Structure 1
Amino acid sequence: MSSTVGGGPSEVEVKRVFIGAGCNRIVNNVSWGACGLLSFGAQNAVAIFDPKTAQISTTLPGHKASVNCTQWLPSNKFAFKAKDLERHYLLSGDAGGAIILWEYSVLEAKWRYVLQVPELHKKGVTCISGIMVSETEAIFASTSSDGTVYLWEVVFPSTGGGDCELLHLDSLFVGSKPMVALSLAELPGNTGHLVLAMGGLDNKIHLYSGERRGKFVRACELKGHTDWIRSLDFSLPICNSGAAHYILLVSSSQDKGIRIWKMALRGSLDSSQSSKPEKISLASYIDGPVLVAGTTSYQISLESLLIGHEDWVYSVEWQPPSPASSEGIAYRQHQSILSASMDKTMMIWKPEKTSGIWMNVVTVGELSHCALGFYGGHWSPSGDSILAHGYGGSFHLWRNVGASLDHWQPQKVPSGHFAAITDIAWGRSGEYLLSVSDDQTTRIFSPWKNDTTPEDEGSWHEIARPQVHGHDMNCVTIIQGKGNHRFVSGADEKVARVFEAPLSFLKTLGHAISQNFTFSEDIQLGVQILGANMSALGLSQKPIYVHAEQHTIEKNPNDSLDTLEAIPDAVPVVLTEPPIEDQLGWHTLWPESHKLYGHGNELFALCSDHEGKLVASSCKAQSAAVAEIWLWEVGSWRALGRLQSHTLTVTQMEFSPDDKFLLVVSRDRQFSVFAINKTGTDGASYKLVAKHEAHKRIIWSCSWNPHSYEFATGSRDKTVKIWTVGKDLSVKLLATLPPFSSSVTALSWVGLDSKQNNGLLAVGMENGLIELWSLSVNKPDDGVEANVCAALVTQFDPLMCHVSSVSRLAWRKRESENCSSIQLASCGADHCVRVFEVKC
Structure 2
Amino acid sequence: MTSSGGGGEVEVKGVFIGAGCNRIVNNVSWGACDLVAFGAQNAVAIFSPKSAQILTTLPGHNASVNCTHWLPSNKFSFRAKQFKSHYLLSGDSDGAIHLWELSLLDQKWRNVLQLPKSHKKGITCIAAHVISETVVIFASASSDGSVCVWEVAFPSTNEGDCTLLLLDTLVVGSKSMVALSLAELPGNVGRMVLAMGGLDNKIHLYCGKRTGECMQFIKACELKGHTDWIRSLDFSLPMGKNGEANNIMLVSSSQDRGIRIWKMALHGSSADINGGCKKEEISLTSYIQGPIFTAGPLTYQVSLESLLIGHEDWVYSVQWQPPSASETEGVPYQSESILSASMDKTMMIWKPEKTSGIWMNVVTVGELSHCALGFYGGHWSPNGDSILAHGYGGSFHLWRNVGTSSDNWKPQKVPSGHFAAVMDISWARSGDYLISVSHDQTTRIFSPWKSVNSLEGGSWHEIARPQVHGHDINCVTIIQGKGNHRFVSGAEEKVSRVFEAPLSFLKTLSHATLQNVVATEDHLVDVQILGANMSALGLSQKPIYVHSADKTPDRSGNEGIDTLETIPDAVPVILTEPPIEDQLAWHTLWPESHKLYGHGNELFSLCCDNKGKLVASSCKAQTASVAEIWLWEVGSWKAVGRLQSHSLTITQMEFSNDDSMLLAVSRDRQFSVFKIHGTGSDEIHHELISRQEAHRRIIWSCSWNPHGHEFATGSRDKTVKIWAVTPESSVKQLTTLSQFKSSVTALSWVGLDSKSNGFLAIGMENGLLELWNLSIKRTDNIYSNVVASVAIRLDPFVCHVSSVNRLAWKEPEKSGEECRKLQFASCGTDHCVRVFEVNVSV
TM over 0.5: yes
Greater Cα offset, 373-382 or 544-553: 544-553
Q: Give the distance between the partners of 1:706 and 1:723, measured in 2 at CA.
A: 14
Alignment partner, residue 702 of structure 2: 702
Q: Could you report, residue by residue, the CA deviation over 1:390-428 in whole angstroms, capped at 9, with x for unpaired residues?
A: 000000000000001110000000000000000000011
- Shift in alpha-carbon separation, 1:692–1:514, aligned structure 2, 3 A: same
Contact 2:29 2:379 (8 Å CA) reproduced: yes
Alignment partner, residue 469 of structure 1: 469
Q: Give the distance between the partners of 2:380 and 2:486, measured in 1 at CA.
A: 42
Q: Give the distance between the partners of 2:648 and 2:326, measured in 1 at CA.
A: 69
- Shift in alpha-carbon separation, 1:457–1:784, aligned structure 2, 3 A: closer
- Shift in alpha-carbon separation, 1:74–1:216, aligned structure 2, 3 A: same
Q: Does 1:602 align with 2:616?
A: no
The alpha-carbon deviation at position 7 of structure 1 amounts to 4.1
Alignment partner, residue 649 of structure 1: 649
Contact 2:52 2:413 (8 Å CA) reproduced: yes
Code of the residue aligned with 2:354 in structure 1: it is: K
Contact 1:450 1:515 (8 Å CA) reproduced: no
TM-score, length basis structure 2: 0.96
Q: Give the distance between the partners of 1:219 and 1:364, measured in 2 at CA.
A: 37
The alpha-carbon deviation at position 516 of structure 1 amounts to 6.0
Code of the residue aligned with 1:674 in structure 2: it is: F
Code of the residue aligned with 1:415 in structure 2: it is: S
Matches within 5 A, 1:124-143: 124-143=122-141
Matches within 5 A, 1:661-700: 661-700=661-700
Q: Secondary structure of 2:796's match?
A: coil
Q: Give the distance between the partners of 1:100 and 1:345, measured in 2 at CA.
A: 32
Q: Secondary structure of 1:215's match?
A: strand
Q: Does 1:371 align with 2:372?
A: yes
Q: Secondary structure of 1:526's match?
A: coil
Q: Give the distance between the partners of 1:391 and 1:248, measured in 2 at CA.
A: 30
Q: Does 1:226 align with 2:224?
A: no
Code of the residue aligned with 2:409 in structure 1: it is: W
Code of the residue aligned with 1:359 in structure 2: it is: M
Q: Give the distance between the partners of 2:173 and 2:557, measured in 1 at CA.
A: 56
Q: Does 1:32 align with 2:33?
A: no
Q: Secondary structure of 1:202's match?
A: coil
Q: Does 1:293 align with 2:292?
A: no
Q: Secondary structure of 1:393's match?
A: coil
Alignment partner, residue 313 of structure 1: 315
The alpha-carbon deviation at position 725 of structure 1 amounts to 0.4
The alpha-carbon deviation at position 515 of structure 1 amounts to 7.0
Q: Give the distance between the partners of 1:65 and 1:409, measured in 2 at CA.
A: 36
Alignment partner, residue 110 of structure 2: 112
Contact 1:378 1:387 (8 Å CA) reproduced: yes
Q: Give the distance between the partners of 2:396 and 2:58, measured in 1 at CA.
A: 19
Q: Give the distance between the partners of 1:660 and 1:8, measured in 2 at CA.
A: 31
Q: Give the distance between the partners of 1:589 and 1:181, measured in 2 at CA.
A: 38
Code of the residue aligned with 1:433 in structure 2: it is: L
The alpha-carbon deviation at position 331 of structure 1 amounts to 1.4
Q: Give the distance between the partners of 1:608 and 1:524, measured in 2 at CA.
A: 21
- Shift in alpha-carbon separation, 1:361–1:555, aligned structure 2, 3 A: closer
Alignment partner, residue 171 of structure 2: 173
The alpha-carbon deviation at position 538 of structure 1 amounts to 5.0
Q: Secondary structure of 2:783's match?
A: coil
The alpha-carbon deviation at position 785 of structure 1 amounts to 3.4
Q: Give the distance between the partners of 2:519 and 2:374, measured in 1 at CA.
A: 38
Q: Give the distance between the partners of 1:678 and 1:183, measured in 2 at CA.
A: 70
- Shift in alpha-carbon separation, 1:684–1:286, aligned structure 2, 3 A: same
Q: Give the distance between the partners of 1:538 and 1:518, measured in 2 at CA.
A: 32
Q: Give the distance between the partners of 1:546 and 1:562, measured in 2 at CA.
A: 25
Q: Give the distance between the partners of 1:378 and 1:399, measured in 2 at CA.
A: 12
Q: Give the distance between the partners of 2:602 and 2:341, measured in 1 at CA.
A: 38
Q: Secondary structure of 2:509's match?
A: helix
Code of the residue aligned with 1:292 in structure 2: it is: T
Q: Does 1:773 align with 2:775?
A: no
Alignment partner, residue 783 of structure 2: 785
Contact 1:451 1:515 (8 Å CA) reproduced: no
Q: Does 1:250 align with 2:251?
A: yes
- Shift in alpha-carbon separation, 1:112–1:761, aligned structure 2, 3 A: same
Q: Could you report, residue by residue, the CA deviation over 1:309-352 in whole angstroms, capped at 9, with x for unpaired residues?
A: 000000000000002264x2341100000000000100000000
Code of the residue aligned with 1:633 in structure 2: it is: E
Matches within 5 A, 1:363-442: 363-442=364-443
Code of the residue aligned with 1:289 in structure 2: it is: P
Q: Which residue of the other structure, out of 2, 26, 41, is the alignment partner of 1:4?
A: 2
Q: Give the distance between the partners of 2:521 and 2:62, measured in 1 at CA.
A: 54
Q: Secondary structure of 2:215's match?
A: coil
Matches within 5 A, 1:256-295: 256-267=257-268, 281-295=283-297
Q: Give the distance between the partners of 2:502 and 2:7, measured in 1 at CA.
A: 45
Q: Give the distance between the partners of 2:360 and 2:553, measured in 1 at CA.
A: 44
Code of the residue aligned with 1:770 in structure 2: it is: L
Code of the residue aligned with 1:34 in structure 2: it is: A
Q: Give the distance between the partners of 2:527 and 2:457, measured in 1 at CA.
A: 28
Alignment partner, residue 238 of structure 1: 239
Code of the residue aligned with 1:480 in structure 2: it is: Q
Q: Which residue of the other structure, out of 195, 203, 206, is the alignment partner of 2:204?
A: 206
Q: Could you report, residue by residue, the CA deviation over 1:333-377 in whole angstroms, capped at 9, with x for unpaired residues?
A: 000000000001000000000000000000000152111100000
Code of the residue aligned with 1:401 in structure 2: it is: V
**RMSD value over aligned CA atoms?**
1.9
Q: Could you report, residue by residue, the CA deviation over 1:791-827 in whole angstroms, capped at 9, with x for unpaired residues?
A: 1110000000000000000001122153611011000
The alpha-carbon deviation at position 275 of structure 1 amounts to 13
Alignment partner, residue 740 of structure 2: 740
Q: How many residues align?
A: 830
Alignment partner, residue 180 of structure 2: 182
Q: Which residue of the other structure, out of 47, 67, 70, is the alignment partner of 1:69?
A: 67
Q: Percent identity?
A: 73
Code of the residue aligned with 1:826 in structure 2: it is: S
Greater Cα offset, 236-245 or 768-777: 236-245
Alignment partner, residue 485 of structure 2: 485
Q: Give the distance between the partners of 2:538 and 2:334, measured in 1 at CA.
A: 47
Q: Give the distance between the partners of 1:117 and 1:523, measured in 2 at CA.
A: 57
Alignment partner, residue 760 of structure 1: 759
Code of the residue aligned with 1:329 in structure 2: it is: G
Q: Which residue of the other structure, out of 83, 86, 96, is the alignment partner of 1:85?
A: 83
Greater Cα offset, 207-216 or 641-650: 207-216
Code of the residue aligned with 1:13 in structure 2: it is: E
Q: Secondary structure of 1:214's match?
A: strand
Q: Give the distance between the partners of 1:827 and 1:53, measured in 2 at CA.
A: 22
Q: Give the distance between the partners of 1:689 and 1:817, measured in 2 at CA.
A: 37
Q: Secondary structure of 2:101's match?
A: strand
Q: Secondary structure of 1:548's match?
A: helix
Contact 1:368 1:582 (8 Å CA) reproduced: no
Greater Cα offset, 740-749 or 361-370: 361-370
Q: Secondary structure of 2:531's match?
A: strand
